[in-house]
């Protein structure tokens, strides 16, 4: 888990499509719609960087981004973490609390480390110019297949190529990948800070009641 300190930037949340309306933004779950409606929100710098990624993908590969998750309310993150922890505790009763939490973190980030409640993380994939999904090997959050969801999993050559295109385009704009999930990237959170060897994150968890 990330050891970098949390940040305190007050940068606002904005619509993920603010700087490029050709980015596809579609909720795959309804957990945030009660808070944000149909909008997917991220920090302003994250939105700017995603626009740059999308521009490069269109120019180089005739591809576009499809974002399905951005900011996640801290209460929702906490709920998912508790549920996953309880399930893994049932399956692994021999684990210590420390080892259990580390295992949970592989699937659902510890709430005070997670990038989504900071507005710093996104879950995304690729579509073509007709909005058809690109086959990258499996669906986002397809956890029943824990090996295939890893960035460098053994998938067919075309799927591996698309994963590399997405990875390289995001990394070029300074996003940190999470190699346990090919679709998850972040900028400015504690995982990002740890990945790039920084002492502190840019952002902290957002108190959504004050947004």
Q: How far apart are CA 119 and CA 192, in angstroms?
A: 13
Helix and strand numbers, DSSP H then E, in the chain? 6, 7
With a CB cutoff of 8 Å and minimum separation 6, the contacts of 127 are 24, 63, 64, 65, 66, 133, 134
Average pLDDT score over residue span 74-102: 87
Per residue in 171-185, pLDDT (tens digit) is 999 999 999 899 999
Q: How far is CA 12 from CA 126, 206, 210, in A?
A: 26, 10, 11
Q: For the chain, how many residues are written?
A: 211
Q: What is the model's pLDDT at position 26? A: 94
In this model, does residue 2 exceed pLDDT 60? no
Domains of the chain: 13-196 (3.30.1380.10)
Secondary structure (DSSP) of 82-136: HHHHHHHHHH-TTS-HHHHHHHHHTTS--TTT-SGGGT-EEEEEEEETT-PBP--
Average pLDDT score over residue span 109-137: 93
In this model, does residue 211 exceed pLDDT 70? no
Per residue in 30-60, pLDDT (tens digit) is 788 878 889 999 999 999 999 999 999 999 9
pTM of the model: 0.89
């Amino acid at each position: 888990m990330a050891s970098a300190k949390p940040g305190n930037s007050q940068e606002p949340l904005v619509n993920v499509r603010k700087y490029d309306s050709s980015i596809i933004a579609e909720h795959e779950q309804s957990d945030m719609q009660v808070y944000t409606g149909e909008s997917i929100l991220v920090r302003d710098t994250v939105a700017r960087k995603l626009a740059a990624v999308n521009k490069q993908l269109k120019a180089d590969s005739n591809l576009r981004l499809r974002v399905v998750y951005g900011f996640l309310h801290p209460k929702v993150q906490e709920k998912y973490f508790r549920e996953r922890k309880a399930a893994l505790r049932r399956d692994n009763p021999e684990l210590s609390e420390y080892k259990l939490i580390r295992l949970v973190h592989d699937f659902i980030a510890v709430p005070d480390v997670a990038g989504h409640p900071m507005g710093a993380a996104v879950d995304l994939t690729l579509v073509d110019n007709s909005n058809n999904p690109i086959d990258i090997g499996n669906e986002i959050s397809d956890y029943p297949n824990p090996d295939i969801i890893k960035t460098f999993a053994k998938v067919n050559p075309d799927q591996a190529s698309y994963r590399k295109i997405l990875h390289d385009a995001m990394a070029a704009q300074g996003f940190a990948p999470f190699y346990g999930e090919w679709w998850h990237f972040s900028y400015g959170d504690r995982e990002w800070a740890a990945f790039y060897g920084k002492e502190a994150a840019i952002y902290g968890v957002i108190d959504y009641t004050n947004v």
